Amino acid sequence: MQTQNSLKLSSNALKILEKRYLLKDDSGKIIETPTQMFIRAAKTASMADKIYGDDYKKSFKEFFNIMNNLEFLPNSPTLMNSGTKLNQLSACFVLPIEDSLESIFDTLKLTAKIHHSGGGTGFNFSHIRPEGDIVNSTKGVASGPIKFIEIYNTTTDAIKQGGKRRGANMGILNSNHPDIFKFINAKQEFNFSNFNLSVNVTNEFMEKAQKNENYWLINPNTHKKIKEVNAGKIFDLLVYNAWKNGDPGIIFIDEINKKNNFGTIESTNPCGEQPLLPYESCNLGSINLSKFVKNNNIEWEELKKTIIIAVHFLDNIIDINNYPDDKIKKITLENRKIGLGVMGWADVLIILNIAYNSDEALQFSEKIMSFIQSTAKNASLEIAKKRGSFPNFKKTKLCKNYDYMRNLTVTTIAPTGTISIIAGCSSGIEPLFALSFVRNILEGAKLLETYELFKKESVAQNFYSEKLMLEIAKKGSVKDVNEVPKNVKRIFVTALDIDYSWHVKMQAAFQKYTDNAVSKTINLPENATIKDVRNAYLLAYKLKCKGITVYRYKSKPEQVLNINYSQKCQSSSCQ
What is the model's pLDDT at position 462? 45
State the pLDDT at residue 6.
64
Q: What's the confidence (pLDDT) of residue 341?
A: 98
Environment class of 341 (CB within 10 Å of its CB; exposed 0-12, middle 13-18, buried 19+): buried
Q: What is the pLDDT of residue 463?
A: 47
In terms of C-beta distances under 8 Å and separation of at least 24 residues, what long-range contacts does 254-257 make, across chains too?
254/202, 254/203, 255/203, 255/544, 255/545, 255/546, 256/517, 256/546, 256/547
**pLDDT at position 473 over 70:** no
DSSP track, 205-219: HHHHHHHT-EEEEE-
Helices 231-245, 530-542: inter-axial angle, 10-degree rounding: 120
When pLDDT is cut at 50, 70 and 90, the band that residue 138 belongs to is low
Residue 487 has pLDDT above 90, yes or no: no
Residue in 266, 273, 280, 449 annotated catalytic: 273
| 124 in catalytic set | no
Distance CA 311, CA 446 (A): 34
What are the tens digits of pLDDT across the range 399-450?
999 999 999 999 999 999 899 999 999 999 999 988 877 877 655 667 777 7
Cα end-to-end span (Å), the chain: 34
Look at residues 77, 64, 49, 90 and name the one whose alpha carbon lies nearest to residue 3. Answer: 64
Catalytic residue list contains 527: no
Whether 219 sits among the annotated catalytic residues: the reply is no
Pick the range with the lowest mean pLDDT from 156-170, 400-414, 505-519.
156-170
Q: How far is CA 274 from CA 513, 567, 573, in A?
A: 14, 36, 36
Q: Are strands 297-298 and 293-294 parallel, antiparallel or unpaired?
A: antiparallel
> Which amino acid, 480?
D
Residue 454: pLDDT band (50, 70, 90) is confident
Question: CA separation (Å) from 248 to 108, 145, 235, 362, 521?
Answer: 22, 15, 11, 27, 13
Tell me, what's the pLDDT at 142? Answer: 85
Out of 269, 335, 357, 516, the active site residue is: 269
CB 341 within 8 A of CB 285: yes
pLDDT given at position 458 = 59
pLDDT, greater one: 481 or 71? 71
Rounded-to-integer distance, Cα 360 and Cα 496, Å: 20
Choice among 271, 282, 545, 569 that is catalytic: 271
Helix (H, G, I), strand (E, B) or coil at 169: strand
DSSP string, 461-485: TT---HHHHHHHHHHS-STT-TTS-
286 touches 341 (CB < 8 A): yes
The answer to whether the beta carbons of residues 331 and 100 sit under 8 Å apart is no
Amino acid at 208: K
pLDDT category of residue 470 using cuts at 50, 70 and 90: low
DSSP state of 518: B
pLDDT of 304 > 80? The answer is yes
Q: For residues 476 and 212, which has the higher predicted lDDT (pLDDT)?
A: 212
568 pLDDT tier (thresholds 50, 70, 90): very low
- Domains of the chain (ranges plus CATH)? 11-84+280-417 (no CATH), 92-268 (3.20.70.20)
Residues 6 or more apart whose CB falls under 8 angstroms from that of 154 comprise none
Residue 570 banded pLDDT, cuts 50, 70, 90: very low
Q: Say how far apart CA 257 and CA 251 lie, in whole Å.
A: 11
Q: What would the pLDDT profile of 399-411 be if each residue is shown by its tens digit? A: 999 999 999 999 9
- H or E element at residue 506: helix 500-511
The mean predicted confidence, pLDDT, of the chain is: 91
